[in-house]
Amino acid sequence: MLWLCIYLPLLPLEVFKQVNLNKTEQPSENKALVVLQEQKVLLCNKAASDAGIEPGLTLNTAHSLSEALLITERDQEKESKLLQYLAESAYQFSSAVSCYHNHHHESSLLLEVGGSLKLFDGIDNLQQQLSHLLKTHPLADAEGFKHQFSIAKTPKAAELLARYYYQKNAGKNLITDTSELSQIMSAPTAERLKSIPIVLLDVPEKPLKQCLSMGLNYLNELLALPKAALAKRFNHGFILYLQQLTGRQSDPQKIIKLPAYFEREQFYIDGLRSHADLIFPIEKLLKEFCFYLQVRQLQSRGIEWVFHRYSKQKNSIPISCSEPQSQYASLLSLSKIKLEKLPLDSPVETVSLIARDFELAELREDDFFHTKNQAYSTHLLADKLIAKLGPQALSRVDSGNHHLPEINNCVKTLSKNTAGETLNKNSSNEGHNKPPARPAWLLEQPEKLLSIDSDIFYRSHKLQLLKGPERIEGNWWKKSSSRDYFIAAQLMPSNKKPPTSNKNQHPVYQAFYWIYYDRKIQHWYLHGLFS
């Protein structure tokens, strides 16, 4: 097995890192930001570092160096969530991805890449793509996530070497050229572990102090001791760590499982106070969501925005789609429409995006000229109207389970569950079993027609039967009805016909009607008009 470690040294700071909400989307370094742990500075951004603040200083000392100082306590729960999100994104490179937290409360991702090298054409290309993902990730700022790579035969060795390389180069990534990674991988793991200081080992503080009191400063000095001597002086946990580090003992990792839902959030320490400010995190989260859908080949039936405020209030905005959706532009357009209704009585601290209803993506076929699908445009229009006006403002013509047309036809609200069905029904008239022709307009009350012998007249105009009969019977439990429906037409008067010399021309019709013969009353009626 071959393990690649992605060490994320600045993750506690990157959870809170400030961003500029302008169109430039560049990180804001105007405000000094520090992350505290046990009332001491754990990490700080560039503005705080320029003011002389550094990790290890007390809060009072940091205040004395910078008056305008943003202070936040470390939030390991948020760090774990962000690490899980990054692990899900890295799942495309390996089927075995693990989130790793060491005894120093630092976070890393571990990927078993032995089976991925052939797929990605070598370790160099794999490292390049992983680095690009971390630098351009939608949940990162313009600088991306600070990271350090390392490769080893065991997961603990890969994690230890990544931290060692990072500290050795004073926080600068050691591996910048992909060829360096290949050279490091070619060296035996045992050789690379020799020069690592004892204090970097991922063990509790007690055995580290024991090693230092024995005059052991480097790992090679510790590994040179006989096994019996080590077993006498150190506990079982420390011995097991050394065995797993060097590959003498198996080290199973907890491999992540991709969840059946999507949930992401963006946290802003100084709050968002306007709808324009909210657009920035919405765009970032939607990009991450669409990337998630693309990687897993899914489409979404709807999403939900959740806004947490300083006042501890929470607002939820659901967005429904009439057909499975994965287009960033469409989801952003619907989100902006819904966002107008969000009250902003207090600043928004956290913006979350949640999606639970997924379907497998279907390939959309375009024509030769790549014109947009008309049905898809109609779906988006319906979604926008519902988002803007509400589900009660949009109605549709529907049919029930009755046989009689005047009872069967009805108007229903166009909701998220019925919009897609209606639009799909209207756009899919293909096939051999086409339904009978029906007029778009039915009269509120059927109108009696004049019949003389076998001729039928409507307002003194003679009608000609073109198609029928279609027998419709129903309502037997109340008032039984039995009707024979026909499509009839009115001939255009001869003085209005266009001149032509063709004696075998077809008849020219002026209007088409839907009429029926009531078999019980034995009379003709007009029921609908064809447009």
**Three-state SS across 47-76?**
HHHHCCCCCCCEHHHHHHHCCCEEEEECCH
Q: Judge whether residue 300 has pLDDT over 60.
A: yes
**Amino acid 442: pLDDT:** 86
Q: Where in the chain is CATH 3.30.1490.100?
A: 271-364+373-387
44 bridge partner residues: 34
Whether residue 507 is preceded by a cis peptide bond, meaning omega within 30 degrees of 0, is: no
User: By percentage, how much of the chain surpasses pLDDT 70?
Assistant: 81
Closest CA to 181 of 15, 35, 369, 2: 2
474 bridge partner residues: 481
The span from the CA of 58 to the CA of 223, in Å, is: 37
Which tens digit of pLDDT belongs to each residue from 33-61? 899 998 999 999 888 999 999 999 999 99
DSSP 392: G
Which CATH number does the domain 3-16+75-246 belong to among 3.30.70, 1.20.120, 2.10.25, 3.30.2010?
3.30.70
Which tens digit of pLDDT belongs to each residue from 409-420? 666 666 555 555
Q: 262-289: b or e for each residue (b if 16 or more CB lie within 10 Å)?
A: bbbbbbbeeebeeeebbbbbbbbbbbbb
Q: Which of 28-37, 60-69, 363-372, 522-531 has the lowest mean pLDDT?
A: 363-372
**Amino acid 517: pLDDT:** 96
Amino acid at 147: H
**Amino acid 99: pLDDT:** 96
Cβ burial, residue 377 (10 Å; 0-12/13-18/19+): exposed
Closest CA to 261 of 394, 352, 365, 146: 352
467 bridge partner residues: 487
Tell me the CATH number for domain 271-364+373-387. 3.30.1490.100
Q: Judge whether residue 503 has pLDDT over 70.
A: no
**Amino acid 170: pLDDT:** 66
The span from the CA of 437 to the CA of 431, in Å, is: 15
Q: Where in the chain is CATH 3.30.70?
A: 3-16+75-246
Please tell me the total number of residues recorded for the chain in this structure. Answer: 531
DSSP 463: E
3-state secondary structure 209-274: HHHHHCCCCEHHHHHCCCHHHHHHHCCHHHHHHHHHHHCCCCCCCCECCCCCCEEEEEEEEEEECC
Phi first, then psi: what are they for 104, rounded to 5°? Answer: -90, 10
DSSP-derived secondary structure for 129-176: HHHHHHHH-TTS-TT----EEEEESSHHHHHHHHHHHHHHTTTS-S--
Which tens digit of pLDDT belongs to each residue from 303-351? 999 999 888 889 999 988 878 888 898 899 999 998 988 888 889 999 9
Which tens digit of pLDDT belongs to each residue from 436-450? 678 877 888 999 999
Cβ burial, residue 153 (10 Å; 0-12/13-18/19+): middle
How crowded is residue 52: how many other Cβ atoms within 10 Å of its Cβ?
A: 12
Which tens digit of pLDDT belongs to each residue from 193-242? 888 999 999 999 999 999 999 999 999 999 898 888 888 889 999 999 99
Query: Mean pLDDT of all residues in the chain?
Result: 82
CB 192 within 8 A of CB 217: no
Q: Judge whether residue 456 has pLDDT over 90.
A: yes
CB 275 within 8 A of CB 344: yes
| Residue 282 Cα distances to 7, 15, 135, 287, angstroms | 28, 17, 19, 9
How crowded is residue 11: how many other Cβ atoms within 10 Å of its Cβ?
A: 22
Q: Judge whether residue 434 has pLDDT over 70.
A: no
Which tens digit of pLDDT belongs to each residue from 488-498? 999 877 666 66
Q: Is the dihedral of CA 265, 267, 271, 274 positive or negative?
A: negative
